[in-house]
Chain A
């Protein structure tokens, strides 16, 4: 299954947020979207996953998701969005309960994803007992439990401190290397974009349009050894974004 964004326009009242976004999102790869703050990245992700309807244009799904994918388009949120009154296990089970598998099958799936994210020993902890990094791993486990075709991630690591950030980044690279999931990954961190993205889409400032798309062909697990090449990509991205970011900054100051 692939996704195609076809002439997406969106805005709120008089504010035009996205203007004419055309984009192909392939399977089995991570597409990073970067752009200055307020350019409509989060809005774009909500449109892609069907949480909001675009004013014009459409998000098209090409091919069917396999029947065992319970929730083909699955989000991972910046603020984790865990239910504080449910334990780790309960938070994962929440998204399975509506599928009518029965207790045993639910427990099997929960055990499986908790093991895959190395959370098994924390299954009875409440979110308040977990650090930010652990919370995001629970959110990742929850997302994996519904066998998504696409993971839609909105700055999943930006609420974390620098060290946790690095650790989770390695986790994500591991996970991708094992499972080859497809993802749209929003970030404002260019370092993240060049380490995780097979394709990096640069948006202009509001109203957001696609400014440039770069492809990074290095395999994810080999990137640690190619810092120079990544740095070149990063600097290229930064040059693209810097002017936009400065202009956007001034816009915000003006209100």
Chain B
């Protein structure tokens, strides 16, 4: 053991690190720096206005959209398609996913079909949907619905499969009815898997929305971007892309809020 009176030195520290944390204003600063460099590049002529508009021009295009009230027309049309398609697709997807998770017949019958159709990029089916549902709203909503449906089915039945069997056994041992077990044990138990599925399906829905709006739509963010591209109006094009980015961020934020509320028991 250590002799009394002998000098020592502290044991050298080798823990710590590997824990990245968000640092206050760094994010906005980097964003502003990039926009600032871009603006400077455009003004000095380093970036040709034919290739990339200055951020201030894109902003002006956005302002123009706002003034003329066209923004709300485009956004309204897009959000309506997104909301209807995503909601119906999600509801149907959860219903089918739960059936696959609960019934042997549904599992044997539907799971292989879902697995076969899930990887098809639904954009490839868009022309078919135009033939089936017409060039109007029908084909656009059907595309989004289809794109949302499959990932939701897969997330849902994966979630149902992963519900702790001992909780179901507990429910049975207390004589709970079948519907009580499904509503109070299986569905809440599958929720932690269903909600992240929403993020994926929402992202897919936005991609499909833009694609669908590029065929025969008068209004909609996708239609606006397509038109801008055709006219080589890069400032409007960038403005449209910014709208899409804000749309995606908002959707993500809403889902995160929902998650935090619905899964507050987990924390």
Residues in A lying within 8 Å of B, measured CB to CB: 49, 51, 70-71, 73-75, 77, 79, 81, 83-86, 94-95, 97-98, 126, 128, 142, 146
Q: How large is the interface on B (under 10, 10 to 19, 20 to 34, 35 or more residues)?
A: 20 to 34
Distance, CA A77 to CA B174, complexed state (A):
12
Which residues of B are found within 8 Å of A95, using beta-carbon distances?
174, 176
The residue from B170, B184, B188, B267 contacting A81, defined by CB atoms under 8 A apart? B170
A-B contact pairs, 12 of them (CB 8 A): A51-B172, A74-B174, A75-B173, A81-B166, A81-B167, A81-B169, A83-B167, A83-B184, A84-B265, A85-B266, A86-B265, A97-B184
Which residues of A are found within 8 Å of B173, using beta-carbon distances?
49, 51, 71, 73-75
| Binary CB contact string for chain B from 223 to 267 against chain A (1 if under 8 A, 0 otherwise) | 000000000000000000000000000000000000000000111
Distance, CA A94 to CA B168, complexed state (A):
13
Which residues of A are found within 8 Å of B170, using beta-carbon distances?
75, 77, 81
Q: Are the C-beta atoms of B166 and A77 separated by less than 8 Å?
A: yes
* Chain B: minimal CB distance from A1 (Å): 16
Distance, CA A113 to CA B151, complexed state (A):
44
Q: Are the C-beta atoms of A83 and B169 separated by less than 8 Å?
A: no
For residue A146, which residue of chain B has the nearest CB? B174
For residue B168, which residue of chain A has the nearest CB? A81
Chief secondary structure at chain A's binding surface: loop
The residue from B175, B185, B188, B265 contacting A98, defined by CB atoms under 8 A apart? B175
* Chain A: minimal CB distance from B194 (Å): 13
Q: Are the C-beta atoms of A79 and B166 separated by less than 8 Å?
A: yes
Distance, CA A86 to CA B132, complexed state (A):
46
Q: Are the C-beta atoms of B166 and A85 separated by less than 8 Å?
A: no
Known: A71-B175, A83-B188, A98-B175. A126 touches B265 (CB 8 A): yes
Which residues of B are found within 8 Å of A128, using beta-carbon distances?
265-267
The yes or no answer to B104 lying at the interface (CB within 8 A) is: no
Which 9 interchain pairs have the tightest Cβ spacing?
A: A81-B170, A95-B174, A85-B265, A75-B173, A85-B188, A126-B265, A81-B166, A71-B175, A98-B180
* Chain B: minimal CB distance from A82 (Å): 8
Which residues of B are found within 8 Å of A73, using beta-carbon distances?
173
Which residues of A are found within 8 Å of B265, using beta-carbon distances?
84-86, 126, 128
Distance, CA A147 to CA B108, complexed state (A):
41
